[in-house]
Structure 1
Amino acid sequence: MPPPQSRAADSHHDEYERDEDDSGDAQEPLLPRFRFATASEGNKARRRRRWAERAALLASGALVVVGLVTVSAWMLSGGQRAGLAAAQVAPPSDGPASLATSSPPSRPSFAQQFLHNASFVNEGVVPFPSSLYSPVYRPRPLEHTLTTLSFASSPRCLERYIATGEVCSSFNGRWADEATRPKVDAIWTWVNGSSAELLTRWREAAAAEETRGRGRRLRRWLGRKVGALRRRLGEAAVARHFREHDELRFSVRSVLQSLGSATLSTLHLVVGDSPLCSPADRLLVDSGVPPLRGQQSVRAAQIPQWLDLPSVEFSEPSLGSPAQSPRLLVHPHSEVFKAGSTGDEVEARSWLQRVTPSFNSLAIESQLANIPSTAQVAVYLNDDFFLHRPFALADMASPLSGPVLRLQRDLLVRGVPPDDTHDDPEGEWRGLGYSAFLLDERFGKRARPYLVHVAKTVSLPVLREAQQVFLDALTRTAESRFRGRGPSEVQTLFLVSHYTIEKHREALLWSFLVARCDTDRSATYVSDERRALLAALGYNFDSPDADRRLVVNRPSRRSLLSLAEQHARVGLPNPRETTLDFSSHDGYAFFGLEGTGDIPVQPIWPSFRSDTTRAMSSSDPAPAVCTFDLTTCFGDAFLSPASDSVISVSETLARVAYKYPQCGDCLITLLVGKSGAAGLEAFLPADVDKEADEGRWDAELEASVQAVGLEETSWQAIDFSRGLEGTTGPSLRAKCAALIHRYSYTLGSSPAAFEAIRSGGDSLSSKLGGIDAAFVALNDDVASSSEGVLEDVDARMGAWFEKTWPVASPWERAEET
């Protein structure tokens, strides 16, 4: 999906064209992606249509000019000079801001003063100094995910949970009090596309006038134009601008109503921003004000006009912890866009100037990892996504089982190298194919299910980890200001969701093949280690006549049933609108998704739930689900007791996991079956330390963050024999448990409705009134340019919005009557 737009800036890129000479420069006109593509019309007719559309945009966006001039006047007032001076004292941020500072800033910036100035009315912009944020990318240290954070102070309980599926009794009722439960963030991206060209033209006009030394004349001209616009548009235009495009307002209401304030921590709104004046143009900054640190410029962040300014917080590096939650935090692109290609501040600022403001949803999403947040989980929504029923925390994520991912099993995405793609550059499949290609390069080639087109849950620590791994690809995506302009653009939410699934698979195989079976950590398998590894699979290493094809029967598991019981024990409500179809506690989600010669196609997600319709006995074994071919998966040298070949641990893992992915899939299922009805015991190394020193468990050890294989984007280049080194802290077994649980997830399905709004009338009211789903997505596909039709659509959607979510959020300004 492209970034949320107003109706004039319709979001369906594949229905629009661009000027061929539109190069993507920061000073380019910003309208081309809103122009209808009509192959049959001539150049003159096309130009007439474009000018008509521009006139409409000028009318609908005129108040942005009003806002800019109002901001300018406010900045020129003597009473605000202290705020400008205060902004120079604070040094620029060195990286993502932390929301956990011990105290609020001693002196608020002029952006904060602006928001709390009672005399100012929201005209859609907030000014801030361009030097407020550093555009240099600086990765955070790895952080605990929601699942590992929940067990951070108890590695013993974490190890037990992963090994056996049992939760320690000390966790009974842990989250029974609503106030103690984990909270989630919500993230929206929003760009006021209808005002984009106005902002650009205004900046260009200001620069041109300054070049000719006509600053005072420009101010007088702007004053006359603004006065004329106000007289012509009148108060009715204010109301219309305030009410016309309210999807975001009601999306926010829907999240508050569905999840509740007890579940939400921070609501993040990522918005576009533009220079209020160029570095060379000082027309709107009083000459008596000293230069700002860094660049001598002020930027204006665009915000929805329905926001009540004093209730909104503008994200700043020195911003203190909130007094209460949830809160609404506004992030300009200047804060979240980071130059991953350079560590030089000057080069990074030049990069930022080239790539912002961005009107490409893929570019904006590529930078979401840079949002300052202390939460472990976030729900990401487009502004036309809504939550339509009450949800529990476990509908989105659980501290026991990780984020809930919603995948469309019958719609598969295959990797496409960027040089081979023929998909529409503005459609979503080009980005999906490229993202799947990146996953193929890192985790082996396979088809991957499409993410259901609803609000998406993402682990923020895993999002930041994936950003570190795929930094180059994400930075290139950020450089494409308009969708389809770059040579390759990542679908970030698709990438990170599948990265989570593949990293869990890798963690399982690494724990068994490396941590458990390379007992001397020599990075090679000696004969005894190979013998023990094969014995764990049920193969006799010393029997030359043993069958080298191991038939793996369907495991009988109760992980999903146990999860429901465990939620009750620890005091967490179970999901209200989600059916959990698969838990990563049962292995790999894509087992049998397509099928191979050794793995038949599985019709459903591999939950492996016990079959209650018939008795299971030794005479009635479970059906076979795959065949593990030892020769293919390990090679002849590995299987020969007399072999003196040096068998590399890393090469063995790469062969099993990625060169022959069916081997890794079947091996995981085999070991899941050997782990019993719950838990993943067969993957974990023996705890030698515990057997030698029971007293070690009397004192709890803080669990540390565990990860392996982050250094490369290609599986062929990674040394998998490395990882989890160190002799201090929890045992290797506990570290493996933390590694596995870091990437835990569940697959869920919920009632969802995707409605395309193509026309108004009673049929639209009937369509909206008939929606009965937990997740709702509304796409504005109205093709008519008739003002009557558009007003009718607005009125009917507005009536449905108000009826469905009548309670205003705490950040809405009172609507004038």
Structure 2
Amino acid sequence: MSTTHPNWIHLPDTEAFPSYEKYTALVDQAYGLPDLVYIPLEEAVKDDVLHGWEAEWLVNVTYDAQRWGLFREPRIDFVYTWVNGSEKAFQDTKHPYELNSTLNDKEGAWISSHGENRYRDWDELKYSVRSVEKYAPFKNKIQVLVNSLGTAEANATKQVPTWLSGSAGNAFEVLAQEEYFEPDKKGCLATFNSISIENQLHNTNSRVDRLFALSDDMLLGRPHAASDLYSPLFGPLVAFKTNAYNTLHKPNEADAKRFGEKPWLIYTSWLLNRRFGARKRKGQAHFGHSLSRRITREAMQSFPGPELLSACSRFRGDFGFQLYTWFATFHYTIERHREALLWSYLIHRSDPDQDGYLSWDERQQVVKDLEEGLQNGSKSSFRARNFYHYSDILEDAGLEPPKVNLDILWTSMDGPAMIKDADCFAFDVNECLAPGFSAEDSYSHRDTPAFSTAAMLDRVARQQPECGDCLVKILLHKVAKGFGPLLPNANAQPKAYQTVLKALMRYQYVISEPDGLFVMVTDAEQVETTLIKRLVTKKKKVGQLCLNDDVSSTDDSDVLALQSTMKALFEGLLPDASQFEAKEEIG
């Protein structure tokens, strides 16, 4: 391959391969956009629809199946990022962009070392699709996100799995980047960076909102229910590692050079801290991710500059840092649920005259609410623990209970996740809400700026998040179940009440400990002894399996041995072809 910069980058653009001028213009635009914006709750939920049962559910954690009927099982899309880096057409397409990258060096070291294993194909996608067809009967359709192949000098073609049947139909879609990237970001194409692709995958077209995002190295290992991923009563299941991030200062060059996903976690932590307040936030588990297209879109739009720059990151490290979709979306969802409760209580319920300030009488009511909650705070079993009853509640509503992810750690119906370990016995309204909050004197007039509901909301939601955590936790302890103590008055404040109901339903979530096995694959012997022996010979079952390519050997015999062993593993686990495989491939 040539080591000189390609001339075609400066030729007239096509949809799959836009001109370099468009690309640089978007990069310049990204640096001019704000890092973050606040999307009002009213704006976020304006198109959401309530069906009538949500009020009773959110107030009392009760679903009346006789009145509202049994739920139908939700349908969920399975969306893959996939590339066959071994294909010469892909290498030829990628190489000019590598040459033009700021990461390229005169010696060509970056090009030769930046990730053969990141693009190598072991045919994992074929077997992962088999696992979905076998173990996920609630599947709506499968979408595979691929690169276009070619250059601006030729018509682009999609990279398509060789085993795929030509009659797969609408249930299996292969989508090139230009088919789902947002119109105002298509000038960033082409990209060879899975993080950039993940920033845009929520734009894939579907009749359903819910999707389960996977890499091609992830497989389902045994039968799943939809509720292993999502339910309409509790929302999506999310899972986290033990490592947490709390970036208080702008990340630097040393942070950008950290191993693996740490640069994106550190950077996205910094963005989340500025938006929602500083706190430790755990990194997401390395398995498939249950997402809402509309909430992921909202989360990405909340960070306009980073989102656009991330979309234009053709290779990992182009601009040092990127907005990390999973980490951002999961924690955005969790924080917005908490923010909705604080907004509901301070902006609406506590300010019945809606003048934007808390008068002495209104402040007294807040103190009374807190005193009632504190009386029950020492009773560890006072609040019902809905996470213990997740399966039973779903069954009563006509939904199949989970089969794989049985270890439920928390649900948003138990309150914001942050309140679980919050120590609130020293909570002080004068420190957390406003100076002089509990005093009536000549210096504490109701229109004092400190008593502005907006000022107090920003204080507890963002400036002192531990105060917001405790405010919610104490107020929830007024009742054994539900969010009643924080909701607007349904009769006196009907519009706000509806907005809050929509927000609490929109930002629901469940935190679970997934039944999964993550393996960094290094060689054939490892696969034989730790995977084939366990999963095929001894028939041990695991809910989800992720086989990450960590092969360092470049010896052809080592790679071929591993390829053969991987096929033996896959065939041992999933020998039956899916409906999407070509007949000659099956034969």
Normalising by structure 2, what TM-score?
Answer: 0.82
Q: Closer, same or farther in 2 for the Cα pair 1:201/1:478, shift >3 Å?
A: closer
Give 1:235-634 correspondences, 5 Å limit.
245-260=122-137, 263-275=138-150, 277-278=152-153, 298-313=155-170, 327-338=171-182, 340=184, 352=187, 355-408=188-241, 410-415=242-247, 417-419=250-252, 421-424=254-257, 427-538=260-371, 552-553=377-378, 554=380, 555-578=382-405, 579-591=407-419, 599-600=422-423, 626-634=425-433
Q: Closer, same or farther in 2 for the Cα pair 1:660/1:668, shift >3 Å?
A: same
Deviation at 1:670, TM superposition (A): 0.8
Q: Closer, same or farther in 2 for the Cα pair 1:532/1:429, shift >3 Å?
A: same
Q: Closer, same or farther in 2 for the Cα pair 1:461/1:192, shift >3 Å?
A: same
Taking the aligned partners of 1:660 and 1:767, their CA distance within structure 2 comes to 47
Q: Secondary structure at the match of 1:412?
A: strand
Q: Closer, same or farther in 2 for the Cα pair 1:449/1:130, shift >3 Å?
A: closer
Taking the aligned partners of 2:45 and 2:455, their CA distance within structure 1 comes to 29
Q: Counterpart in 2 of 1:323?
A: none
Deviation at 1:637, TM superposition (A): 2.8
Cα deviation 1:541-586 (Å, max 9, x = unaligned): xxxxxxxx99942443232345433212221011111121101111
Deviation at 1:386, TM superposition (A): 1.1
Instruction: Pick 1 or 2: higher relative contact order, CA cutoff 8 A, min separation 6.
Output: 2
- Whether the aligned pair in 2 keeps the contact of 1:360 and 1:483 (CA below 8 Å) is yes
Deviation at 1:173, TM superposition (A): 5.0
Taking the aligned partners of 1:509 and 1:22, their CA distance within structure 2 comes to 57
Q: Closer, same or farther in 2 for the Cα pair 1:469/1:506, shift >3 Å?
A: same
Q: Closer, same or farther in 2 for the Cα pair 1:756/1:203, shift >3 Å?
A: closer
For structure 2, the 5+ residue unaligned runs are 31-38, 99-119, 536-540
Taking the aligned partners of 1:811 and 1:474, their CA distance within structure 2 comes to 34
- Whether the aligned pair in 2 keeps the contact of 1:476 and 1:488 (CA below 8 Å) is no
Q: Closer, same or farther in 2 for the Cα pair 1:489/1:653, shift >3 Å?
A: same
Q: Secondary structure at the match of 2:163?
A: coil
Q: Secondary structure at the match of 2:156?
A: strand
Q: Counterpart in 2 of 1:664?
A: 468
What letter corresponds to residue 261 of structure 2 in structure 1? E
- Whether the aligned pair in 1 keeps the contact of 2:390 and 2:408 (CA below 8 Å) is no
Taking the aligned partners of 1:590 and 1:26, their CA distance within structure 2 comes to 52
Taking the aligned partners of 1:22 and 1:528, their CA distance within structure 2 comes to 75
Q: Closer, same or farther in 2 for the Cα pair 1:142/1:445, shift >3 Å?
A: closer
Taking the aligned partners of 1:627 and 1:477, their CA distance within structure 2 comes to 42
Of 458, 470, 483, the residue aligned with 1:654 is: 458
- Whether the aligned pair in 1 keeps the contact of 2:17 and 2:190 (CA below 8 Å) is no
Deviation at 1:381, TM superposition (A): 0.5
Cα deviation 1:369-415 (Å, max 9, x = unaligned): 2222232211111110111111111110110000001112x311222
Q: Does 1:787 align with 2:556?
A: yes
Q: Secondary structure at the match of 1:590?
A: helix
Taking the aligned partners of 2:6 and 2:303, their CA distance within structure 1 comes to 24
- Whether the aligned pair in 1 keeps the contact of 2:199 and 2:307 (CA below 8 Å) is yes
Q: Counterpart in 1 of 2:435?
A: 636
- Whether the aligned pair in 2 keeps the contact of 1:473 and 1:490 (CA below 8 Å) is yes
Deviation at 1:275, TM superposition (A): 4.5
What letter corresponds to residue 654 of structure 1 in structure 2? D
Q: Counterpart in 2 of 1:99?
A: none
Q: Does 1:752 align with 2:556?
A: no
Q: Secondary structure at the match of 1:418?
A: coil
Q: Closer, same or farther in 2 for the Cα pair 1:23/1:187, shift >3 Å?
A: farther
What letter corresponds to residue 304 of structure 1 in structure 2? P
Q: Closer, same or farther in 2 for the Cα pair 1:268/1:143, shift >3 Å?
A: farther
Q: Counterpart in 2 of 1:192?
A: 84
What letter corresponds to residue 156 of structure 2 in structure 1? R
Q: Closer, same or farther in 2 for the Cα pair 1:492/1:526, shift >3 Å?
A: same
Deviation at 1:627, TM superposition (A): 2.9
Q: Closer, same or farther in 2 for the Cα pair 1:244/1:638, shift >3 Å?
A: closer
Taking the aligned partners of 2:285 and 2:411, their CA distance within structure 1 comes to 18
Q: Closer, same or farther in 2 for the Cα pair 1:636/1:757, shift >3 Å?
A: closer
- State the number of aligned residues: 526
Deviation at 1:129, TM superposition (A): 8.3
Taking the aligned partners of 2:180 and 2:269, their CA distance within structure 1 comes to 25
Normalising by structure 1, what TM-score?
Answer: 0.60
- Whether the aligned pair in 1 keeps the contact of 2:17 and 2:151 (CA below 8 Å) is no
Taking the aligned partners of 1:391 and 1:482, their CA distance within structure 2 comes to 35
- Whether the aligned pair in 1 keeps the contact of 2:15 and 2:178 (CA below 8 Å) is no
Q: CA RMSD in A?
A: 3.4
Q: Closer, same or farther in 2 for the Cα pair 1:267/1:309, shift >3 Å?
A: same
Cα deviation 1:615-662 (Å, max 9, x = unaligned): xxxxxxxxxx64312221023332222321242111101112221111
Give 1:662-701 correspondences, 5 Å limit.
662-676=466-480, 678-689=481-492
What letter corresponds to residue 299 of structure 1 in structure 2? A
Q: Counterpart in 1 of 2:51?
A: 153
Taking the aligned partners of 1:525 and 1:505, their CA distance within structure 2 comes to 21
What letter corresponds to residue 273 of structure 1 in structure 2? S
Taking the aligned partners of 1:377 and 1:779, their CA distance within structure 2 comes to 25
Of 52, 61, 70, the residue aligned with 1:174 is: 70
Cα deviation 1:120-171 (Å, max 9, x = unaligned): xxxxxxx99889xx9999x9x95799xx75xx231xx211111111113445
Deviation at 1:426, TM superposition (A): 6.8
What letter corresponds to residue 51 of structure 2 in structure 1? S
Q: Closer, same or farther in 2 for the Cα pair 1:626/1:403, shift >3 Å?
A: farther
Q: Secondary structure at the match of 1:580?
A: strand
- Whether the aligned pair in 2 keeps the contact of 1:379 and 1:458 (CA below 8 Å) is yes
Deviation at 1:731, TM superposition (A): 4.4
Bigger radius of gyration, 1 or 2? 1
Q: Counterpart in 2 of 1:720?
A: none
- Whether the aligned pair in 2 keeps the contact of 1:273 and 1:356 (CA below 8 Å) is no
- Whether the aligned pair in 2 keeps the contact of 1:144 and 1:742 (CA below 8 Å) is no
- Whether the aligned pair in 1 keeps the contact of 2:16 and 2:148 (CA below 8 Å) is no
Taking the aligned partners of 1:539 and 1:197, their CA distance within structure 2 comes to 66
Identity of aligned residues (%): 28
